[in-house]
Structure 1
Amino acid sequence: MTELADPRPQADALPLGRDSLVWKYFGDNRMYLIGPRPAVLQNMLAELGQGVLDHSVFFSDTAARVKRSIPPIMMTVYGEPDSGEGTRVRDFHRDIKGDMTLPDGTGVRYHALDPNTYFWAHATFVEQVLYFADTFVTRLTEREKEQIYAESKTWYRRYGVSDRPMPADYAAFQRYWEHMMDDVLVAHPTAKYGVGYVTKGFPRPKGVSPLAWRLIAPLFDPVAAFLTTGGLPPRARELLDLPWSRRQERAYRVFAAAWRSRPVNWVWDRLPMTVRYNTFAQAGYARG
């Protein structure tokens, strides 16, 4: 279940770097507009959601889990190709394994480094880049989508995990994605917990006083619910039983179109790098 692979670039992929579209979009600070889309979709794969349920601090300290997970993934993309950041991410998952019961009642063993499970986690990040750019920055051409996918193959191989489940091209990736959404994903308790605030309100963050949160929450909660629910595929909303009306859908489309508009992009592109990109992307671009 833990097949390893050579992390070196291969001929069927495109490189990462300052000219790549993955670099251009993955570390863009507007990414917050999509909400927790990749994390929620990851946890809707039963094996992955169970691994989080059994081994992660996600339930006791969600912020700490996010804070610990994001930097090494960002460094896999924006770090030096031979830095070993990807294989370090892989090795964090060596002991994430156990027994579980699938939705159909079948008992199985799971392991985070099972190639199918590990690739699904990566696929949600690839789709995150595609969805974010196409929804909130500019409508992508088919050639740009192909380019992003080809660059993502280099990214995935840096983890040193078997690329056996990785689709050969963007068209095959689309078919894979539709199959996962329609036939594989479930409303795993981990995913349901992760979006519980949509209907129950966001829990008070550590370090924020109860009084301050009582003042902030009435403003924060509706925005968080709007970005989270709107940022999920319709099939995921259906499985997770998240409320979403036609009126909200129209509002979300107007909201996205405003961000994609030429004036907003013109202003954004002229802001300092420290505003537009996270620190990992800034370091990558500074290095060249």
Structure 2
Amino acid sequence: MTAADELPAGEPVPLGPDSLTWKHFGDWRGLLPALWAGSMQNMHPELGAGVEEHSRFFDERWERLFRSLYPIGGVVYDGPRAPETALEVRGYHNTIKGVDSRGRRYSALNPDTYYWAHSTFFVGMLLTVEYFCGGLSEQDKRTMYDEHVRWYRLYRMSMRPVPETWEEFQEYYDRMCREVLEDNKAARDVLDIARLAKPVATPWMPDFVWRMLRRPIARGGVWMTVGLYHPAVREKLGYTWTRRDEMALRLLGKVINAAFTVVPFERRYHPRARAAWRRVRGAEPVDAPLVETPARNLPPVAERDDPKHYSPKV
């Protein structure tokens, strides 16, 4: 075993409010690439197989999306408690393993598989800032890359798959998109949102209103996702993207960024991130209980004791 195969030495150090990751990861705009992240993760052969055989994500899309934000965000924002949160998140993957339809073995805790999922959170954050938050300098990207490595160390996974530099990561990402990712059912299912259920957070919305909104939301969401894809991924999935499309997406991003300038700072953030900012600013005790998902996002009652699920007692 080489040093690169070993677990990270010593105690990993959580990110803090001085990091660019704290500034950007918990921003609500980070949900805009949600379809991108889900499809990119599922295009990985092992991840796609795990989702197809172990997940009911497609039965509760909104609930799964919004409850996942809490523990995943906690690995960034929980401060001294972040290492514990990271091990909890890793633990949800312990039983996700098997053999796919082609006879290939898979495990969610395969270091290469686990790191690919993490890398999509990092790239998704870069894309969010690039398109919807005003953009990034090359130095910002290098800084955020180093922060994402520090963030990943919290999972106590092998560091073998992790590129050493931002430049090496770009080569890794290009190779994954060109040579490893595949067009599969799990990825296509993510993109199939034509009959997407009404969001659980909007029970007050009349059903007929949602039916009117669903089609343009679905079209717009897939269109935006295609724009965020690596060109090789677009080709694999059979999509095209024109210069006019790119200009329209950039313009939309500028409008969204301008709209967020009038949103109060803390309201720009997901509740787990918002609570972290409040703790570091002294508005809440540093040891205040961590914010957990509301009950509306919990898994179905029969599955709440399943170790694959984050299901706090709320």
Instruction: Tell me which interval the TM-score lies in, with the shorter structure as reference length.
Output: 0.7 to 0.9
1:5 to partner: Cα distance: 4.9
Change (3 A) 1:228 1:202: farther
TM-score normalised by L of structure 2: 0.78
CA distances 1:176-221 after superposition (whole Å, capped 9, x unpaired): 1111011111012100110123xxx242337676533333234433
SS of the residue aligned with 1:94?
coil
> Which position in structure 2 is the counterpart of 1:275?
267
> Which position in structure 1 is the counterpart of 2:92?
92
What amino acid is the match of 2:56? Answer: V
Unmatched 5+ stretches in structure 2: 281-314
Choose the corresponding residue for 2:12, options 4, 9, 14.
9
Q: Is the 8 A contact 1:45 1:184 kept in 2?
A: yes
Farther off after superposition, 247-256 or 183-192:
247-256
Farther off after superposition, 237-246 or 275-284:
237-246
> Which position in structure 2 is the counterpart of 1:44?
43
- C-alpha separation in 2, matches of 1:285 and 1:213: 34
SS of the residue aligned with 2:239?
coil
Farther off after superposition, 135-144 or 205-214:
205-214
1:244 to partner: Cα distance: 4.2
Q: Is the 8 A contact 2:27 2:268 kept in 1?
A: yes
Q: Is the 8 A contact 1:6 1:157 kept in 2?
A: no
Matched length: 271
Change (3 A) 1:218 1:268: closer
> Which position in structure 2 is the counterpart of 1:221?
218
**How do residues 53-92 of structure 1 correspond to structure 2 at under 5 angstroms?**
53-83=52-82, 84-92=84-92
> Which position in structure 2 is the counterpart of 1:249?
246
1:7 to partner: Cα distance: 7.2
Q: Is the 8 A contact 2:15 2:76 kept in 1?
A: yes
Q: What is the percent sequence identity of the aligned residues?
A: 36
Change (3 A) 1:210 1:280: closer
Pair 1:203-2:189 in alignment: no
> Which position in structure 2 is the counterpart of 1:190?
186
Farther off after superposition, 136-145 or 227-236:
227-236
Change (3 A) 1:229 1:75: same
Q: Is the 8 A contact 1:16 1:151 kept in 2?
A: yes
Q: Is the 8 A contact 1:9 1:157 kept in 2?
A: yes
> How much is the aligned-residue C-alpha RMSD, in angstroms?
2.5
Farther off after superposition, 216-225 or 204-213:
204-213
TM-score normalised by L of structure 1: 0.84
